[in-house]
Structure 1
Amino acid sequence: MALIIVVVLGIAFRLTSGDGDSRAGQTTARTVSSAAGTLPWPREGQTSVLVEGVGDRGDLGTKGAQKPVPIASLTKVMTAYVILRDHPLRMGETGPDITVDQQADDESVSGVESSVPVRQGQRLSERRLLELMLIPSGNNIARLLARWDAGSQEAFATKMNHAAHALGMRHTTYTSASGLESTTTSTSADQLKLARQAMRDEVIRSIVAMPSTTVPGTSGRTSNTNALLGTSGVIGLKTGSSTPAGGNLMWAATAPDGSGHDRLVLGVVLHQHAGTSPQQGLQAAFANSATLIEGVRQWLAQTEPGTR
C-alpha cells in the first residue's frame, strides 16, 4: 500500500549526488562533511541532506549505500514535476478541467493502495488533481494525470525517465506514475536532486505545504499524509511507503542559522524498516527524519551565514 506525504523545498544548492560512485547499484556511502559527522543519521537505509545558503558547509552529505531501492509514493513528486513542466500553472491558476475516466473511478476504492474517491464524468481542474495526488497520495489520480498527459502509463513513464536523466538522476528508474510497483527505484542522492528542481515550482511548494484539502463530492477535509508538516519548521514534501520500499520521506524545512536568518533544509530518507508493514516503515521514516531535522537545526544555529 503506497502511502505518501508532501514537503516543500526551494532553490539552488550544491548537491550531494553520488557522482563519485563507481557504478549504479554497487555504490558506497559518501563521507559526510566533518561538521555533520555528529548528526543523528538514521542507522538504516540511506539519507541525503543539504542546507541552502551556507556555502560548502551546507552539503551535509549522504549516509548509506546508494543502491537503488523502491521509493513508493515519492514517485509522485516526479509525476507532478512532469505534469507541471508540460502544463505549467501560475499561483492562483487552476488550469484546464480534466474528465475523470472509468479507470480512475474503478480504482477509487482499493484495499491494496491509497486512492481518492472520484466518479466517471467528473470534471476536476489540473490544480485540484495535483492536490489529490500529493496530499492524500491518490494512486488513481496519479495514473489519471499520466493518461491525460501522455495517453498511457507507459508513455508517461518514458517522459519521467527522460526527465530523470536530464536532472542527472543516474540511479533512478520509473515504471509508473504512482510508485505502487516496486520496479520504480532510486537513491536518496537522486531524490534530493529531484526535490531541488520540483520545489522551484511555486505550485508544488504551495500544495505540499497544505495541511489538508477537500475531495469534491465528499464531506469534510482530507489530511496531508506528512505527519511532520508544521513541526520543527517542516514545510513540505512527500511521503511514500510499502512493504518492499519501507518508509520513505522527502522533506523540507526552514531553520535559523547563527545570525537568525532562516535557511531551507532539504532531506531524503529511504528504506526505513523495509520488509515490515507500510505503516511501521512510515512511522520509522517520520521518527528518524524528525530526529535528524532537530540535529540539523541545532548544528545550523551555531553556523554563521556563508556566501550564496
Structure 2
Amino acid sequence: MDAVVAEKLTKEYNGKVAVRGIYFRVHYRECFGFLGPNGAGKTTTVNMIYCLSPVTSGKLTVLGMDVRKHPREIKSRLGVVPQENNLDPDLKVLQNLLVYANYFRIPPATARSRALELLEFFDLADRAGEKVDRLSGGMKRRLTIARALINNPELVILDEPTTGLDPQARHLVWQRLRRLKERGVTLLLTTHYLEEASQLCDRLVIMDRGEILEEGKPGELVARHIGQEVVEVGLEQMEEAATALVVERTGHLLREHLEVGDNLFLFPREKGQAVLQALQDLPLRFSHLLLRPATLEDVFLKLTGRGLQA
C-alpha cells in the first residue's frame, strides 16, 4: 500500500480547472516532490491531500483511506507545514507546540516531552522561552515544521518549505528534513527551487497548468530529456538567419535545441565542448556563450518552453 494514491484527480474552482485529472503515487518512507512554477496546481493538490479542499472528481486515498470518507482520521495522522508561517505571535516558542498538541488530545506530560525533543532536534531548545516574533525567518520555519511533528505523523506535507529563507537557513532546513526521512517519516513537498528538489526528492512530478508533465527520479529525468550538459547561446541580434546558422553547424552534435526568447539552448549528444568549439568558429557575435551541467530547469524548459520562475 502506498501513502498517497491519486487517480484522475481533478479540482475545479468556479468553473476553472486547477488540477486536470492527474495520476501519482507516493511511497512510504520516501520524499516525493511536486516541482513547478507558481500557479502550476501544486498547492491545490496538497490541499486536497490533507483534506483542506474537497476533491471535485477522481480518486484520492491517503494512508489507505478515502479523503471523502475519512477526513478526520487522515488529518490526525498527518503533519502539515503551510506556505506561510502561522505561528501564534502572542505565545512563546514552547507554548506554540504545547497548544497545538491540545488539538490532538495529547496528554500534557507527553506533549511537553515531545515538544522539548523537537526543539532540540531543530536547534531551538535555547529559544523555548522566547516570543515567536523575536525569531529569525529560518527559526520560525523550523518551529513551524517542529509543530507539524508534534503528533508523530506518518506523512508530513510541506508546501514550499524554504521560500523566503536565506541559503544558510535553507540548508539547515534541508538537513533536518533528511534526518526525518532517515527516521522513516514519509515527506511530500511542493517547491519551485531546483536545488531543493534535487537535494531532497527521491522521486518527483513536474507540474504545469494543473497537469503532470513528467515523473521520475531527478537525475533520471535530466538524463532522459537533456543529457549531461547544456550550451546556452545568446546572439547580439537573434535573427532568423543567425539562429539557422547555429543550428546548421551544430545540429549533428545535438540531441535537440530550443529557442526561448533571446537565447538558444543546445543539448549535446555527448560532450558539450565540441559544440562550443563549433560555435566559436562561426562568424557571429555572441552576447554570451556558456557550457554548464544540465539541470531540472532544462527539463522543465524543454517540456513547457518557459522557465520555472515564469
Q: TM-score, normalised by structure 2?
A: 0.30
Higher relative contact order (CA 8 A, sep 6+): 1
Q: TM-score, normalised by structure 1?
A: 0.30
Higher Rg: 2
